[in-house]
Structure 1
Amino acid sequence: METMIPQKELIVQAVSGTVEEKRKCRSGQRASIRQQERQKGGVFMDLIIGVTGASGTIYAVKLLEALKERKEVVTHVIFSDYAWINLEIETEYTKEEILSLADHCYDNRDLAACISSGSCPVDGVVVLPCSMKTLSGIANGYADNLITRVCDVALKERRRLVVCPRETPLNTIHLKHLYELSQMGAVIVPPMPAFYNHPETVEDIVNHQIMKILDQFRIPWEGAKRWGEKVRDHV
């Protein structure tokens, strides 16, 4: 009988993993582990987070921090090359800190990663922030990297796909792509701040967006105020 590989070892960091390590990533083994976890009575969810070169990497960082608190959620993270550059430009986070927040991290060029296959049992995909180039690739089925490929898989497998476009103003091509993705079943969650919660910091604004994304997967989170929560005193 083949020895079961622990969950944390199944999907390796593609940026440094060997061919032998990558062979450990077998969807059958992952499916067995998921079944074991569900039998224990706990919810077990796998989410893919794709981070592109659009401005707003702080959104992705805060989402990863929120998901790190949820032990029942396993995160699979893909940063594009320009996302890493923007992380350095826009935040004080290091690459090492991001890798520590993710359960598994992949090279965006690694189309052989197990999450690129529909046989890999994941529950959903979030693209945050989503550049207009990536938006075009997803809408037109042009899966030339791992981020666009996992989105393509989510659409064909009818899994939850949340796209967070970060661009303004939007031209007709952008709007057309967003409309088409919505028609395909994707959920469009643009980073739009709310003010009924009286945000006092940039983090308050970012956290409200994180809450809206987590809502799409029914993941409870207390990091932001909802309408009616200590809000009516200001009305």
Structure 2
Amino acid sequence: MATVILVRHGRTTANVSGMLAGRTPGVDLDEVGRAQAISTAERLADVPLAAVVASPLERCAQTAGHILDAQSAAPTSAVESAITECDYGDWQGQPLSLLSLEPLWTVVQAQPSAVTFPGGESLAAMQARSVGAIRRWDAAIEAEHGPNAVWVAVSHGDIIKSVLADALGMHLDLFQRITVAPASVSIIRYGSTRPTVVTTNSDAGDLSWLQHTAPAADAPVGGGAGTQPAARAGS
């Protein structure tokens, strides 16, 4: 099975101002966000990536650019519209402080599967398109590069949370229990019988073990030995 690394874009100017950016054009990484993206790229530098697939929005393209720049060999680079941000409709561009006063806010928190944003998309539709795209890309990359292939999808917080919820077998109504911070890494391996969630919301630590650890077909009973960072030269 291939391995997909879900990377959220780094912090943006909208994150800092408390605006729900949605698909608003021109929302860029701020200085902290650029540093976060570079740090994540450095964590992935020792992992030969088969592909880097990104949402078309600027903040994801900028984050993906740092990841691509840190690779010694050039992975396939692609844009995937199906992992773009949720269409928040009339909520887009509004301050979160005001949106939190809306009656729909409580439903977003407690019953996301029932939410359709006014003038926009339902969270259920968002999850369906994003999960479908990730699984489709994963199957295509494994078919082309083999079961040990590792690839990156750069996307958005709610998108990644919904993909993780699906992989964990969680109902969409529980996806608010998952945290996905800016530039964080979450890792999924889709197997023939079930997905395996390897890591969620990771923002530090060595990832070079990904190039040395072959995915196991079955879950290790008792938990197994875990993963170990690759030995460095001279150590």
In which range does the TM-score fall when normalised by the shorter chain?
A: 0.3 to 0.5
Using CA pairs under 8 Å that are at least 6 residues apart, name the structure with larger relative contact order, 1 or 2: 2
TM-score, reference length from structure 2: 0.35
